[in-house]
């Protein structure tokens, strides 16, 4: 890539505050099939990152952060003020929708077609709203 003088930046991780590391790993890795990228004990906390299956190693990871105080506990499941917070993009909506339902994921709605693609909103066990999305 030619040097344009502009910074080359990426988002490396997005923090998701949860009540418990292992509970989050049981859901994201155990039920959804995400890949555990790192689980490093830092003594006072863990550095835990996961990535959806098939994601390139250059894509952002989800940093699982166990709430450490009352303010963080209050944010669990509402980090985006009730809006959809995260978007799980797929190359095969129907396959992943069926697989997620079989794994116990609760969808808030039936799949719908929008101008940008096929989508359905679901929640993780911590209350975070996600879109399962296949772009057109």
Q: Which pLDDT does position 56 carry in this prediction?
A: 86
Rg (CA), the chain: 16
**Is the domain of 62 the same as that of 97?**
no
The answer to whether residues 61 and 44 belong to one domain is yes
Range of the domain at 131: 84-136
- What is the pLDDT, as a whole number, of residue 17? 97
Residues 101 and 118 in one domain: yes
Q: Which residues have CB under 8 Å from 104's CB, separation 6+?
A: 31
C-beta of residue 121 within 8 angstroms of C-beta of residue 108: yes
Decide if pLDDT at 1 tops 60.
no
For 97-111, write each residue's pLDDT tens digit. Answer: 999 999 999 999 999
Structural domain count, the chain: 2
Say if residue 7 is in the same domain as residue 58: yes
Q: Give 30's contacts (C-beta < 8 A, 6+ positions apart).
A: none
Check whether residue 69 and residue 4 sit in a common domain.
yes
Q: What percent of the chain has pLDDT over 70?
A: 98
Which CATH number is 59's domain given? 3.10.180.10
């Amino acid at each position: 890539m030619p040097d344009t003088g502009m910074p080359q930046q990426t988002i490396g991780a997005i923090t998701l505050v949860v009540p418990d590391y292992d509970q989050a790993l049981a859901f994201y890795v155990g039920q959804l099939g995400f890949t555990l990228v790192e689980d490093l004990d830092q003594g006072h906390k863990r550095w835990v990152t996961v990535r959806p299956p098939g994601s390139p190693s250059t894509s952002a990871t989800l940093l699982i952060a166990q709430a450490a105080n009352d303010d963080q506990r209050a944010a669990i499941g509402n980090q985006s003020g009730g809006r959809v917070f995260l978007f799980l993009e797929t190359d095969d909506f129907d396959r992943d929708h069926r697989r997620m339902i079989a794994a116990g994921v609760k969808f808030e709605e039936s799949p719908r077609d929008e101008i940008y693609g096929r989508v359905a909103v679901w929640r993780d066990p911590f209350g975070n709203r996600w879109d399962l999305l296949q772009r057109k």
